[in-house]
Structure 1
């Protein structure tokens, strides 16, 4: 009943939207971002070069101290490095004692294997490792990246929340096209390489 009530309220208030940012560099202007209407942030925690982002803990703390309502982390895996379990362990270990919501695995076209089945196994192994460490896990991708990396119809992680990218500068889900077994998304990244409060950010909506 509570979910139904929320849905009715959501549908009856078209202007209801939550805006946020994701960051991949040191950022300390979160209070300004909050003042400009951005209330959640997703912080890069692991880089495609194969190491924990040295700014992740500082950025998480800066986000909370700046007044963000929700703070998550994303993991950009280093596929050529192998060892998805080790990468998951290293990130979670670095975040020990740090307050954050969930970890999003970044699945976008960059140095993935030419074998879709190998990529599927890499993702599943990383998801299982993170969940085994107690993390709440989501997937970041989009229709074309998913099609290229694992195959459009592979639905092996469709039970996880989806954060999808489509740079149409439209903070809504009206453009969403189902893929990978997802019929609805959790978050949309609707603009990239924006500058807000002097910081380089991507813009997100849910």
Structure 2
């Protein structure tokens, strides 16, 4: 996919352009080949979100290959998710991640949940965490990254408290709630977001031998 097409893909998933269909997909943390992604496409996937930065503060070496395989398998929209490590400068980790998967993805989603990796976990002070989230956003904006935030209401509130830095900056929300329903009818506002852009609705897809969470967004 060309860079211009990737930009279209990023905007597409973020703002949910007005068309007649919804999109099913999944997020993955393990590598898969093109035939697996082709199988997923044949089973209804329109997008995939690949882990590109690991919880211990390093790029995921499998991400570029998985993104290429997803493209070869016919998955049209390909994003990445970034698991922040608070002991690595925000500008460094976002720059490293972007450089590692440059030209292969549409949007980078910051994964905001408990991080158990040594020295990488969130602070007990929610204001400090909010400031770090703001630094991640600033770092992405400085190099032209199209960004989103992944979290659940529980995780956001336990880590960030009343922080609204994502919503205040117009950052799209991909939220987690395992009610097994492709719908935003369960959504309750948090973090300043009054509506989401995508949903992780199940922690097990169960198709094509792939280990993935099930995701959905309307458009």
Specify if TM > 0.5: yes
Once the two structures are TM-superposed, the CA of residue 42 in structure 1 deviates from its matched residue by: 0.5
Once the two structures are TM-superposed, the CA of residue 32 in structure 1 deviates from its matched residue by: 0.3
Give a deviation string over 1:70-103, Cα, whole Å, max 9, x none.
0001100112x2311111111111123x331010
Q: Does 2:135 align with 1:125? A: yes
Aligned length: 192
Could you tell me whether the CA contact under 8 Å between 2:127 and 2:163 is conserved in 1?
A: no
Aligned counterpart in structure 1 of residue 150 of structure 2, from 140, 158, 165? 140
Q: Distance in 1 between matches of 2:22 and 2:55?
A: 31
Number of the residue aligned with 1:196: 207
Number of the residue aligned with 1:155: 164
Q: Distance in 2 between matches of 1:33 and 1:194?
A: 10
Number of the residue aligned with 1:49: 56
Give a deviation string over 1:35-54, Cα, whole Å, max 9, x none.
00011000100000111000
Q: Does 2:101 align with 1:95? A: yes
Q: Distance in 2 between matches of 1:83 and 1:193?
A: 33
Q: Distance in 1 between matches of 2:112 and 2:74?
A: 29
Q: Distance in 2 between matches of 1:40 and 1:198?
A: 17
Q: Distance in 1 between matches of 2:207 and 2:91?
A: 35
TM-score, structure 1 as length reference: 0.89
Aligned counterpart in structure 1 of residue 189 of structure 2, from 178, 190, 196? 178
TM-score, structure 2 as length reference: 0.84
Could you tell me whether the CA contact under 8 Å between 2:52 and 2:82 is conserved in 1?
A: yes
Q: Which portions of structure 1, spanning 4 or more consecutive aligned residues, are displaced by more than 3 angstroms?
A: none
Q: Does 2:37 align with 1:27? A: no
Unaligned 5+ residue runs, structure 1? 1-5, 11-15
Once the two structures are TM-superposed, the CA of residue 157 in structure 1 deviates from its matched residue by: 1.2
Give a deviation string over 1:2-32, Cα, whole Å, max 9, x none.
xxxx75x75xxxxx42101111010121100
Could you tell me whether the CA contact under 8 Å between 1:109 and 1:148 is conserved in 2?
A: no
Could you tell me whether the CA contact under 8 Å between 2:64 and 2:104 is conserved in 1?
A: no
Higher relative contact order (CA 8 A, sep 6+): 2
Aligned counterpart in structure 2 of residue 108 of structure 1, from 101, 107, 113? 113
